[in-house]
Structure 1
Amino acid sequence: MSELKINSYVLSELPPEKRRQLIRRVRANNSNVEGVVRGIIDDVQQRGDEALLEHTLRLDGAALTANGIRVSEEEFAAAQEKLDPKLAAALETAIANIRKHHSAQVPQESWMHEVRPGVIAGERWTPIASVGLYVPRGKGSFPSVVAMLCTPAVLAGVPEIAVCTPPGPDGTVDAASLVAARMCGVKTVYKMGGAQAVAALTYGTQSVTPVEKIVGPGNQYVSAAKRLLYGAIDPGTPAGPSESIILCDGSADPELTARELIVEAEHGPDSAALLVTHADEVAAAVVKIIPSLIAKLPPKRRGFVESVMAGYGGIVHTSSLRESLAFVNEWAPEHLRVITESPFELLPRIQHAGEVLLGSNASIPLGNFVIGVNAILPTAGMARSQSCVGVLDFMKRSGFAYVTDEGAAAIAPVAVTLAEYEDFPAHAAAAQYVLDRINR
């Protein structure tokens, strides 16, 4: 077996181009992907179920009929019967924690205040009418993703919620995912994935009802479909290959740090996983420990981690905690694991991260599955402007206002002046009419 390669970077010595590459991490060649995806989208839009079934057979190996696209009540019952009670109990605990955390996000239904005498303005929150929740299955089955998506959508009060997830070659959906959907209160699950699922949720087919928004992570084909259909549908938070930064100082346990470093790396070869530290002794110990940890993984996962350590992962050596924090904010990780002596002191200095897990015990897997924080997070640096999925992703705000005669008399002349300056005569005339009507 060849020697494990673990990238090592001294941040202050990196040439500008190498630093840019480190910040950018994986970037897919979208041109070829988008050409393929555009063809699938057009096909589903034109031929509906027929195209959806053909692409499902070709890409997922599942021979479905139109009646089998939607999971039946019998399939839900069979999944419940089949599920290991221990796994069912784990899902119940996870969903309870996710629900409790996200319940705090539910906004006040409406608020209003008096901007000035007689001028009342406010805002009101309402749920999106319908959403599609995309749950991938390419490298495994993910009932935790079902829980992370369904729970906030239900709490938001979305009337129509549909989960879509690729079927296995036998035409079935992962039993734990079906049970998780029902535990959350979601009854509609479609057996479809990839670009064809995004197209079906956007345009609708004979068997699939179109939705207003799609939320959930997916592969490059799913991401490309969302980009191409932007405008026809709200594509939700961008979520690409998994990534993490482990930020530590000299107080960190090297084995704990090494184990956290390989967590996100086992998702796939295009994942990114970096240890960022000024504690050279910890970094050296981690490098020694990692090979033995990787050796214990199954071959597929071992291959993923090895690819990441030589690709978009490794060790970033800094000169100080200050420099480490600056790099973290520049990189804007999906998952940020802070293993330092005083983690809460660093929290105000962390500006860009999908989630921040503080201290020795807040392991990434705990965040992914059971703490309750949402694990559907922005990737590829999008944490600089995007947020973790939450209740507000499934809601929208509307402003409202009421103006008395007193209020109109005070503000209508202002509206007339501004409308005339911006050359909107109909605006000016309408505001003037309100003023004249009051004065009559």
Structure 2
Amino acid sequence: MSNVSFHETARLSSEDYQALLKRSEADLSVFAEKVKPIIEAVRTEGDVALVRFGQDFDGAKPLTEATLRASEAEFDAAFDAVDAEVIEAIEHGIENIKIFHEEQKPEPMWLKEIKPGAYAGDRYTPIKSVALYVPRGKGSFPSVTMMTSVPAVVAQVPNLAIFTPPAPDGGVDAATLVAARIAGVETVYKCGGAQAVAAAAFGTQTIRKALKIVGPGSPWVVAAKQQLSGLIDPGLPAGPSEAIIFADDSIHGGLAALDLLIEAEHGPDSSAYLVTHSRRVAEEAIAALPDHWAKMTKHRVEYSKSVLCGENGGIILTNSLEESYQFINDYAPEHLELLSTEPFEHLGHITEAAEILMGPHTPVSIGNFALGPNAVLPTSKGAATYGPLSVHDFVKCSSIGYVTAPAYPTMAKHARVLARYEGFSSHENAVSEMRDQYLMKKG
């Protein structure tokens, strides 16, 4: 068996501890240079560049400018190509995701009487155009289509488009098309990587420019989002998958190992740790991994071993529950499982995690596919300042103010004092006797 990375916090130096907190995408400098010519080619050549990159990077030799957008016939054929039980699972997931995000949707407008006759509040309106990025490099992800499309449709964004890398045959993953149509998105572009971000930012002959792009992606995608952030809102930082499986001594280590593999199998750029203060749990997990690997497909075994036996994954044995909590909060993971028969005892100690799945019956798999909360989550410590993708990512807020004539004098008095103090004469004049004179005149 490959040697699983094993770390005991009692034996870690400060530098070693900090190294455990790093992600594979922490240094994007190499990608930043590589995406520059891709971005420039899309800016200057449009569809021609997208077709070339689709053929060269994705092996989609049949791709042409005329087929960059998935056709209605391709959508129809996808429903015939996908097994009925897969369609049923997609429908089940979308139903729950919709229920969850409908509850999350803010009121279109609220106003509160701040002082007698003076009102203030917020009004929410949808962003006019959003690009939904669905990765494909290491697998097909209809679940990402579900998670990005449903809240956008709930928010009533008028112009939505999915961007996803083309297959070698020049098509789109059939289940992705099924999920898109069921969710309510009929525009799907066969375009991935940095070139997709550039296409959304600039627009091309086929692709309509978007104001924002959301969805997880490779370091190429993340680097392109960073470079183009002045042209398109890059949304929350969603890069390669990462997870912490916390397990206390009420759990069998074999169960913890089972869940540790969930995000580790995404690819060698993922990060996954089992964090426990129980040596028994740690040892049981290590002992169970070979049997779990024996029941996985070959390339997923390779991916997960590269993570768990490398620098961005493995097992961390802490000295105490408090040390486990501290590591989790320092790491600020994308996915966190609280594997315990009493998970609520631990929940109050966790402040830095984008998703917290509690108890032995709530693995990341259920969070990713079926439960309802959004599984597009901030990575690389983004959880310290960002939350999951939500309806709020597809709307913007306008503050509303309304002051009536009876409330105006008091408001004006205090505004005038502060305007004078800050040295803004026009501010002061606008709430002075000059205004009173105009208010008395007929307009």
Question: Common fold, TM-score beyond 0.5?
Answer: yes
1:309 CA displacement: 1.3
SS of residue paired to 2:239: coil
**Structure 2 contact 25–240 (Cα < 8 Å) conserved:** no
**Structure 1 contact 126–395 (Cα < 8 Å) conserved:** yes
**Mapped partners of 1:439, 1:326: distance in 2:** 64
Letter in 1 for 2:377: L
- Please identify, of 420-429 and 100-109, the stretch whose mean Cα deviation from structure 2 is larger: 420-429
1:408 CA displacement: 1.6
SS of residue paired to 2:230: coil
Partner of 1:69: 68
**Structure 2 contact 237–379 (Cα < 8 Å) conserved:** yes
Letter in 2 for 1:283: A
Partner of 1:131: 130
SS of residue paired to 1:356: strand
**Structure 1 contact 238–379 (Cα < 8 Å) conserved:** yes
Give a deviation string over 1:45-84, Cα, whole Å, max 9, x none.
Answer: 1221122222222211224222211111111111112221
Give a deviation string over 1:1-21, Cα, whole Å, max 9, x none.
Answer: xx4111121213311111111
Partner of 2:157: 158
SS of residue paired to 1:418: helix
1:297 CA displacement: 2.1
Task: Say what the alpha-carbon RMSD is for the aligned residues.
Answer: 1.4
Identity rate, percent:
46
SS of residue paired to 1:198: helix
Partner of 2:263: 264
**Mapped partners of 1:245, 1:334: distance in 2:** 8
Runs of 5+ in structure 2 lacking a partner?
none
**Mapped partners of 1:426, 1:12: distance in 2:** 63
**Mapped partners of 1:436, 1:122: distance in 2:** 29
**Mapped partners of 2:25, 2:86: distance in 1:** 36
Give a deviation string over 1:404-438, Cα, whole Å, max 9, x none.
Answer: 12222001122222222222222222222335545
Give a deviation string over 1:204-231, Cα, whole Å, max 9, x none.
Answer: 1111001111000111111111000112
**Structure 2 contact 164–192 (Cα < 8 Å) conserved:** yes
Alignment of 1:133-282 (within 5 A): 133-282=132-281
User: Which residue of 50, 53, 76 corresponds with 2:51?
Assistant: 53
**Structure 1 contact 24–381 (Cα < 8 Å) conserved:** no
Letter in 2 for 1:33: F
Partner of 1:85: 84
**Structure 2 contact 273–314 (Cα < 8 Å) conserved:** yes
SS of residue paired to 2:399: strand
Alignment of 1:87-126 (within 5 A): 87-126=86-125
Letter in 2 for 1:338: L
Partner of 1:332: 332
User: Which residue of 23, 28, 32 corresponds with 1:30?
Assistant: 28
Letter in 2 for 1:434: R
SS of residue paired to 1:267: coil
1:120 CA displacement: 0.8
1:161 CA displacement: 0.7
The count of residues paired between Structure 1 and Structure 2 equals 438
Partner of 1:11: 9
Partner of 1:410: 410
Partner of 2:313: 313
Partner of 1:395: 395
